[in-house]
A = this chain, B = another copy of it.
Amino acid sequence: MVRVGIVGALGYGGGQLVRILSTHPGVKLTYLSSELEKPVKISDILPNLRGFLDVECKVYNAEEAIENCDVVFSAQHPGWAMKEASRFLEAGVRFIDLSADFRLRDLRTFEAWYKMRHESPHLIPQAVYGLPELYRAELKTARLVANPGCFPTAAILALAPLLKEKIVDVSTIIIDAKTGVSGAGRMALKLDFHFPEVNESIKAYNVAIHRHTPEIEQEVSVISGQQVAVSFTPHLIPITRGILTTVYAKLTEDTTSQKLTELFREYYSADYFVYVLDPEIYPATKDVYGSNFCHIGLKVDERTGRVVVISAIDNLIKGMSGEAIQNMNLMCGFDERAGLDSPGIEP
């Protein structure tokens, strides 16, 4: 059994890691910590675990974490992992970071968008971007994984086949994303996420300045082999979980919804967790609620010469904890589906 630790176990992402890993056949949860000042019984904070997993969540201590773990997941605030990761790596503990600290390969881009100095730039080159559909081979030997952001996961999966095949004009990409509120996390309370402010409403935020923009652009550029800038607009909607991403791009050749669907299916033929719907059928976030699947549907609009691709994920699973576990599975030589092979729970 692989010994696994979670630092930051009490947030929404951390809580999902605990839940899923507690039934994973190949691992043993040997270390849980949080930023609280005292140890707590985890089920006192995550009441869904009552009677199922009543173990202790400790105050973080690096030595203790290193000693007890072969793999550590870090679900902490931005800026934490860049300080701590090297200790784990030097001790031979593999490190999966769910924050943005190691996602951007270009240091100046990181510092410009995150408005903080990077404290471990030397680690950036060894971090593997944890999107298995793009980096499966590299992940198998990774020691440090930069788990993708929720928006980038959904956006890149919607775009990758188009870019690989070079059938869209990369200067025309628009990404209109809609997210549930759990993406804002549990720890930092803001009026923006107070129930009466979110309920029965929708709004855009961080228009054209969201920090996930350069992350999307980095990967989109790699796939298309040229520098790409995208328009990215996130919207907040009154659901807890789920991201729906609607991507628009100008086609560079005549094609049909049927042909593009086939192209997507070919591209994702080895990717269990990506499901491509029949042409002109579109996913709902409900369909992937609680699962690691990404559903994708598309439409070629002959009138405008554009393609519209729509992807749906559970932001806490495929957009966060599930993807991180998928990465761990690859790193540890498990079946990629281990612990994750369950459908969405909404009928």
By a beta-carbon cutoff of 8 Å, the part of chain A in contact with chain B is 11-12, 14-16, 18-19, 22-23, 46-53, 172, 174, 176, 178, 180-182, 186, 189-191, 193-205, 207-208, 229-231, 233, 235, 237-242, 244, 246, 248, 272, 275, 277, 280, 282-291, 293, 295, 299, 301, 303-304, 306, 308, 310, 312, 316, 341-347
Given A176-B246, A304-B208, A310-B204, do A344 and B231 touch, yes or no (CB 8 Å)?
no
Evaluate contact between A286 and B186: CB separation under 8 angstroms.
Answer: no
Chain B residues with CB under 8 Å of A194's CB are 186, 189, 193-195
How far is A162 from B29 in the complex, measured between Cα atoms in Å? 38
Given A194-B195, A195-B240, do A345 and B345 touch, yes or no (CB 8 Å)?
yes
User: What are the 3 tightest A-B residue pairs by CB atom distance, in nearest-first order?
Assistant: A15-B347, A201-B286, A48-B344
Kindly report which residue of chain B lies nearest to residue A50, judged by CB atoms. B275
Evaluate contact between B190 and A343: CB separation under 8 angstroms.
Answer: no
Q: List 21 A-B contacts (CB under 8 A).
A: A11-B347, A12-B196, A47-B284, A50-B287, A51-B272, A51-B293, A53-B343, A178-B235, A182-B196, A189-B190, A200-B240, A200-B286, A201-B286, A201-B289, A202-B242, A203-B283, A203-B312, A204-B308, A207-B301, A235-B244, A345-B345
Q: What is the CB-to-nearest-CB distance from A154 to chain B, in angstroms, rounded to a whole number?
A: 12
Given A246-B176, A345-B19, do A304 and B229 touch, yes or no (CB 8 Å)?
yes
Within 8 Å by CB of A342, from B14, B23, B203, lies B23
How far is A113 from B172 in the complex, measured between Cα atoms in Å? 27
Kindly report which residue of chain B lies nearest to residue A47, judged by CB atoms. B287
Most B Cβ at <10 Å: residue of A181, A200, A239, A290: A200
Chain B residues with CB under 8 Å of A308's CB are 204, 207-208, 231, 233
Chain B residues with CB under 8 Å of A343's CB are 19, 22, 48-50, 52-53
Chain B residues with CB under 8 Å of A246's CB are 176, 204, 233, 235
Kindly report which residue of chain B lies nearest to residue A310, judged by CB atoms. B204
How far is A289 from B240 in the complex, measured between Cα atoms in Å? 13
Chain B residues with CB under 8 Å of A203's CB are 244, 282-286, 312
Evaluate contact between A237 and B237: CB separation under 8 angstroms.
Answer: yes
Q: What is the CB-to-nearest-CB distance from A210 to chain B, in angstroms, rounded to a whole number?
A: 11
Q: What is the CB-to-nearest-CB distance from A298 to chain B, in angstroms, rounded to a whole number?
A: 9
